[in-house]
Amino acid sequence: GDSVTQMEGPVTLSEEAFLTINCTYTATGYPSLFWYVQYPGEGLQLLLKATKADDKGSNKGFEATYRKETTSFHLEKGSVQVSDSAVYFCALHPGGGYQKVTFGTGTKLQVIP
């Protein structure tokens, strides 16, 4: 079945540091890929998405590129802020009218001033 693997956390960075959170997936067909963010005590919200190979999703300075050859969708940001502290989830939707999304286990990011 489908699966999503993301790097273990927590990740602690200083403000303005470069961020990479790795995500790899296993799926048949042509899934859509997502990054969701969860701020403390809140629900998840969509950060960015990509629907086909080589697409780049971007939002709020975050970027991720859909790499079919390496089955990866790594999240990057050039300069993190304290307000980026949250849990980040990589996710996959298989498409084709299927109903369910597969989520990774989440990576907690803490940015210190």
Partner 1 sequence: SQTIHQWPATLVQPVGSPLSLECTVEGTSNPNLYWYRQAAGRGLQLLFYSVGIGQISSEVPQNLSASRPQDRQFILSSKKLLLSDSGFYLCASTRGTDTQYFGPGTRLTVL
Q: Which residues bind partner 1 (CB under 8 A)?
A: 32, 34, 36, 41-46, 49, 51, 89, 91, 93, 95, 99-101, 103-106
Q: How far apart are CA 87 and CA 100, in angstroms?
A: 21
Q: How far is CA 56 from the centre of its chain?
A: 12
Ramachandran angles phi, psi of 69, nearest 5°: -65, -30
Q: How far is the CB of 37 from partner 1 (least distance, A)?
A: 11
| Residue among 10 and 78 whose Cβ is closer to partner 1 | 10
| Residue among 11 and 17 whose Cβ is closer to partner 1 | 11
Matching residue, tokens 């990011």: 109
